[in-house]
Amino acid sequence: MTEVTTPNVYHPAEIEEKWQNRWAEQGLYDADIDSSRKPFYAVSMLPYPSGDLHIGHWYALVPSDARARFQRMQGFNVMFPIGFDAFGLPAENAAIKHNVHPKEWTYANIERMRGQLRTMGTMFDWRREMVSCDPKYYRWTQWFFTQLFKGDLAYRKSSPVDWCPHCNTTLAREQVWGDDRHCERCDTPVIKRQLEQWFFRTTNYADELLSFSGIEWPERVRTLQTNWIGRSEGAHVTFQTEALGESQESDEIEVFTTRADTLWGATFMVLAPEHPLVDKITTDTQREQVEAYIAEATRQTDVEREATDQEKTGVFTGAYAINPASGARVPIWIADYVLMTYGSGAIMAVPAGDQRDFEFARKYGLDISVVIQPEGEELPDSETMTAAVSAKGVMIHSGPLTGTDSSKDMDKVLAYLEEKGIGRRAVNFRLRDWLISRQRYWGTPIPIVYCPDCGAVPVPDDQLPVELPEDVDWRPTGESPLKLHPTWRQTPCPQCGQEAERETDTMDTFMCSSWYHLRYLSPDYDKGPFDPAEYDYWMPVATYTGGIEHANMHLIYTRFFHKACRDLGILSGDEPMTTLRNQGIILGEDSEKMSKSRGNVVAPDALVERYGTDTIRAYLMFFARWEQGAPWDSNGIEGTFRWLRRVWALCPDSPVGEATNDGTAKDGTAKDTASTLRALKRKVHQTLASVAHDYENFEFNTIVSSLMELLNEMYRAREAGVVGTSEWNEAWSFYLRMLAPTAPHIAEELWQRLWPGDSVHVQSWPEYSEEAAAEEEITLVLQVNGKVRDRLQVAVDIDRDEAEKAALASEIVQKFLDGKEPRKVIYVPGRLVNVVV
């Protein structure tokens, strides 16, 4: 038993703040350009200053911080900055609730969160902090907007857009979620409104966004983005409408199809009710019905209209078109199952090959013409068939292409269309342009002035920022609050000087977060959004970490933004972030999503007070697979606390010098001690290898468990009398350095105890010795017919013959052989012998 006179007890409160202050004073985490070292730029998605740091913030930031610290010990020059995504709706909502100005609310929260972030013990370089609602920041957000505008990547158009009636603003398509098409923020179902809004041409980059070459992003995110972008290859085919009278000209209706091989089976056409040609082609006799249908369609919500289980409805326009391949006269209908927002808002209907068209044709008695011979099946009869047959196959009744197998030779079909001038190859995307106008107050003003003569004019660089006025009634009315300001709108046209008006919408806050990683490079730089020298040294971001919920929003926007800026000559490189990783979600102890209303929220501040930062850091890394998350378990944290207490208690209590114990001092146990020392050294090096591997691969839980295992081994070694040996000292030197990224305070305190001087955090990562890690003995598993029957301790270099001999010599093996002759003996070097009978 250890003596009770010197209470050597771990009290995190006594050391953590002390070290945080000292590191800050020393500028330990200041990251500056240093061409002699390789840069490592690590970014975690910036937090929104909602008021209190919650456990989710810790979960996102701490393992990222630990990994950044590890990279630093590996010799990289690491920059790990932090900032605040400070514009946005919650500030306005909270401001309304508590009657404080959004700015005041936001900055008070930021101040509070800065304090909380400091208790986390992260290696943030605070000199690089950015705050997106600061005019120094949004000046450049506006500058980027004007650049995109000048490059024709920002444009204004009137279109039906998604409107959240609760947030009183438009939303981007990406911010409308789920079956009921609700607002991503407040869950209210959105409605459509026809509005004049600003868009970015994200669709220009659709194809490039589908390529993930050169970046290491999780499969999951790539799939989400790929599906979101929704590329389909096919053809545009043009149908001519039949002229109504001799004096009239025919119109062209363009359709997109992925199945040009079924063109001969197109027996009717369907236009979306909003299609611009509908009014023109509708005949007098059908007009009443058509208008009634359109009115009904308009009245319906998107949800109702787009419900897939609804029976299809439609109305004949009275007009006909000519199938450009077959020459057939086909009726033109309108139906709401055709969406104006996809393709050209018109389709060629092939009821034999498309289930939707089939149902529609059956309901309204339209012709069905089978043009694909299904492989290995009888030709469906158009009168009796009960479902469309969508597979490709050999084309029939298809003029010159009859006999072509479209499952193999689609190219021939497309070539034919092009040759005959019927259609042309085309690619269609689901992705839409990014709607960035918001009718809210707390955002970056869109830097545009509307002049009666010059039109929409971007505010010149030297007049930026267009500052957000503070004396505004920011209560949402459905109109942009800036519109209601008495004077702010009026401004001379930057081009001709006559009286003009400012744009009063603000930008989607995803615009702010599309480039914040560039502002960290040089937050005070005023000759551009970032200092090119800093950019050249640090970019691209080496690892980017954050939640996966942004896969189709922020993570698409920021990639678009980077590529657009590249093409505008603002920066270089194709991608902003090389490696992306997503943490999972911590649920409440009841396995439900944490929320105030459920009362299952875990408060980090209270945990820090009780256990200290290091314990929470270690627990967050240990308690679940980081990329997966898990329900919180408040008992589990005791285990990590116990571990750190045991580290503290085992650590020698005075500086380490030369070895004071050569391992032979203990009488009669010299041999045992020697093997213990070898085993200790081996375990230390093996742990080193696995810890390093796990840091590289974001496998944080096994880092902590390896360190726990090693500590257990060290406790056993102490009992064997190794204290004071060079192996023991090396174990501590390694242990504290391996611990430092995870539990930086205790590692520093103990390091200073043993090796007073430079911080543990400027030490280099221990050097691995393969020789030291090598096993001398292995457990040879003996199997009979694949079942484990016995185990033997043997030398690691045992050869095949010896191993087989040893196996057959085993009594237990013999018992299970039961006198039978081995038919085959399998030997896996270093692992097992399997005797097969």
Partner RNA sequence: GCGAAAGUGGCGGAAUUGGUAGACGCGCAAGACUCAGAAUCUUGUGUCCGCAAGGAUGUGGGGGUUCGAGUCCCCCCUUUCGCACCA
Amino acid in the structure at residue 243: A
Candidates 35-43, 376-384, 663-671, 827-835: pick the segment binding RNA (CB under 7 A).
827-835
What is the number of residues in the chain?
Answer: 837
* Residue from the set 170, 444, 783, 810 that interacts with RNA by CB under 7 A: 783
Contacting RNA within 797-816 (CB under 7 A): 812
Enumerate the β-bridge partners of residue 781.
791, 832
Minimum gap (Å) between residue 182 Cβ and RNA: 10
User: Is the Cβ of residue 42 or residue 624 nearer to RNA in the bound state?
Assistant: 624
* Complex with RNA: residue 221 or 518, whichever CB lies closer: 221
For the beta carbon of residue 245, count every other beta carbon within 10 angstroms: 5
The burial class, CB within 10 Å (0-12 / 13-18 / 19+), for 112 is: middle
Site string for RNA, 263-302 (x = CB under 7 A): ---------x------------------------------
**Candidate residues 279, 288, 633, 777; the one interacting with RNA per rule CB under 7 A:** 633
Give kind and range of the element (H or E) at residue 538.
helix 532-538
- CA gap 823, 833 in Å, rounded: 13
Restricting to residues 65-104, name those near RNA by CB under 7 A.
none
Residue 342 C-beta: closest distance to RNA, Å: 4
Instruction: Write the binding mask 305 to 344 for RNA: x where contact by CB under 7 A, - elsewhere.
Output: xxxx-x-x-----------------------xxxxxxxx-
Q: Does 699 bind RNA (CB under 7 A)?
A: yes
436 interacts with RNA by CB under 7 A: no
Pairing of strands 252-257, 329-335: unpaired
- 646 is a contact residue toward RNA (CB under 7 A): yes
Q: What is the CA radius of gyration of the chain?
A: 35
The CB-of-778 to RNA minimum distance in angstroms stands at 7
Among positions 74, 258, 578, 759, the unique one binding RNA when judged by CB under 7 A? 258
The 3-state secondary structure of 53-83 reads CCHHHHHHHHHHHHHHHHHHHCCCEEECCCE
Q: 100 or 224, CB closer to RNA?
A: 224
Is residue 223 involved in binding RNA (CB under 7 A)?
A: yes
Nearest CB to RNA, comparing residues 8 and 26: 8
- C-beta of 824: minimal distance to RNA in Å? 6
| Residue 202 lies near RNA (rule: CB under 7 A) | no
- d(CA 467, CA 831) in angstroms, rounded, equals 70
Interface stretch with RNA, choices 62-70, 73-81, 462-470, 641-649 (CB under 7 A): 641-649
User: How far out from the chain centre does Cα 721 lie?
Assistant: 51
Residue with tokens 């213990």: 676
Beta pairing partners, 825: 835
Partners of residue 79 on adjacent β-strands: 41
User: Is residue 345 a contact residue for RNA (CB under 7 A)?
Assistant: yes
Which of the stretches 188-196, 450-458, 675-683, 825-833 binds RNA when contact is defined by CB under 7 A? 825-833
**Contacts (CB under 7 A) with RNA, residues 608-627:** 622-625
Considering only residues 355-394, where is the footprint of RNA by CB under 7 A? 356
Question: Which token pair is 435?
Answer: 């709607």
Residue 793 touching RNA (CB under 7 A): no
- Of 710 and 760, CB closest to RNA: 710
Interactions with RNA, residue window 517-576 (CB under 7 A): 552
Q: Find the shortest distance in angstroms from Cβ 803 to RNA.
A: 13
Residue 651 touches RNA, criterion: CB under 7 A: no
Closest to 253 in 3D by CA, of 323, 352, 203, 318: 323
Interaction of residue 412 with RNA, rule CB under 7 A: no
Sign of CA dihedral 591, 596, 598, 602: positive
**Angstrom distance (rounded) from CA 761 to CA 741:** 8
Residue from 96, 533, 665, 788 that binds RNA (CB under 7 A)?
A: 788
**Is 789 a binder of RNA (CB under 7 A)?**
yes
Is the CB of 28 or the CB of 630 nearer to RNA?
630
Least Å distance between CB 830 and RNA?
8
The stretch among 57-65, 162-170, 694-702, 799-807 that binds RNA (CB under 7 A) is 694-702
Our CB check for RNA shows the closer of 243 and 828 to be 828
430 binds RNA (CB under 7 A): yes
Residues 6+ apart with CB under 8 A from 407: 375, 391, 392, 393
How much of the chain is helix, strand and coil, in % rounded to 5?
A: 40, 20, 40
Please check whether residue 274 is in contact with residue 345, taking contact to mean a CB–CB distance below 8 angstroms.
yes
In the complex, what is the shortest distance from the CB of residue 292 to RNA, in angstroms, rounded to a whole number?
17
710-729: which residues touch RNA (CB under 7 A)? 712, 715
For residue 613, give both structure tokens: 């930062």
Output 405 or 709, the one with its CB closest to RNA: 709
Near RNA in 229-248, by CB under 7 A: 230, 232, 234
Cα(581)–Cα(587) distance, rounded to whole angstroms?
Answer: 19
Regarding 220 and contact with RNA (CB under 7 A), the answer is: yes
Residue at token pair 């013959």? 801
Subset of residues 172 to 201 that bind RNA, contact rule: CB under 7 A: 177-179
Angle between helices 604-611 and 636-650 (to 10 degrees): 30
* Residue 347 makes contact with RNA by CB under 7 A: yes
CB 321 within 8 A of CB 241: yes
Identity of the residue, 4 or 606, whose beta carbon is nearer to RNA in the bound complex: 4
Site for RNA in 28-57 (CB under 7 A): none
**Strand runs labelled E in 727-799:** 777-784, 787-795
Minimum Å gap between C-beta 566 and RNA is 27
Q: How far apart are CA 837 and CA 591, in angstroms?
A: 50
Task: Give strand pairing partners of 347.
Answer: 270
Residue among 366, 196, 179, 359 at smallest CA distance from 269: 366
Quick one: 79 or 260, whose CB is closer to RNA?
A: 260
* Nearest alpha carbon to residue 29 among 60, 73, 61, 63: 73
